[in-house]
Amino acid sequence: MKIHLTSVFVDDQAKALRFYTEVLGFVKKHDVPVGEEDRWLTLVSPDEPDGTELLLEPARHPAARTYRDTLVRDGIPLAQFAVGDVEAEYARMRELGVSFTQEPRTTGPVTTAVFDDTCGNLIQLASRPA
Domain residue ranges of the chain, discontinuous segments joined by +: 5-127
Q: What is the pLDDT of residue 120?
A: 94
- Per-residue pLDDT band at 31 (split at 50, 70, 90): very high
pLDDT surpassing 80 at residue 130: no
Q: Which residue type does 21 have?
A: T
Mean pLDDT computed over 8-27: 97
Of the pLDDT bands very low, low, confident and very high (cuts 50, 70, 90), residue 91 is very high
Considering the segment(s) 5-127 as one domain, its CATH architecture is Roll (3.10)
Query: pLDDT band for position 93 (50/70/90)?
Result: very high
pLDDT at 88 over 90: yes
Nearest to 57 by CA among 117, 97, 101: 117
How far is it, in rounded angstroms, from Cα 102 to Cα 35?
37
pLDDT confidence tier of residue 129, bands split at 50, 70 and 90: confident
**Confidence label for 42 from pLDDT (cuts 50, 70 and 90):** very high
Is-contact 92 74, C-beta < 8 A?
Answer: no
Nearest CA among 28, 5, 13 for reference residue 79: 5
